[in-house]
Amino acid sequence: MIRQGFGYVISLQDDLVLVGEAADGHEAVELALKLRPDIILMDIQMPGMTGIEAARTIVRQLPQTKIVVLTTFNDPDYIYEVIRCGAVGYLLKDADVEDMLEAVRSAYRGEAVYRTDLAADALSRAVASGCILPEAGAKPALLEPLTEREQEILQEMAYGLRNDRIARKLVITEGTVKSHVHRILQKFGCEDRTQVVVMALRHGMVK
């Protein structure tokens, strides 16, 4: 019922076309290889083959297909495994319909879509273990260069620290941290801190 509900919503969009639905991991792989979709919304727990196993198989054979995991589990270990399997996003099922649709569109544009507060830590683990490697080439074009303090806070964000912990660690107020985070988001042109961390990690701006 949940799958059909999401499918119905997607089918109503002028810029999206629903090309298939699968009831389990094996069927997801079979249909993906047959239909070669641009985006797949994939659950984690499914009969026969898990979503992570299915995603790993699909990404290996269809590297151009982008997978966004849609799940009830807000678990850093799951997020880490999703990153390792090559999926581009992680979205909770209690997200608004508009968030789901925007995640699909963002993934199509090549953006990472990790819409959970536990994603930054999992992303940092993935970089440390070599699952995400910094990309060679130019740094992202920021609207303005980061200040020394903003770079410091960006690094703490990449470590997975929230605003209150960053404030305690840097001996500044939480309000000051929030202001810096807001400016960092503006300079990167990103909507949330996870997108900023992903971009910074991929371009070697943080460790």
The 10s digit of each residue's pLDDT in 120-164 is 566 666 655 655 544 545 566 788 899 999 999 998 887 767 789
What is the spatial distance between Cα 129 and Cα 115, in angstroms, rounded to a whole number? Answer: 22
- The token pair at 109 is 């544009």
| Terminal alpha carbon distance of the chain | 42
Residue-wise pLDDT for 44-90, tens only, equals 988 889 999 999 999 889 988 999 998 888 777 888 888 778 888 88
User: pTM (2 decimals)?
Assistant: 0.63
Amino acid letter for position 181:
V
What percent of the chain is predicted at pLDDT more than 70?
86
Does residue 16 register a pLDDT over 90? Answer: yes
* Backbone torsion region of residue 43, taken as left when φ is above 0, otherwise alpha when ψ lies between -120 and 50, otherwise beta: beta
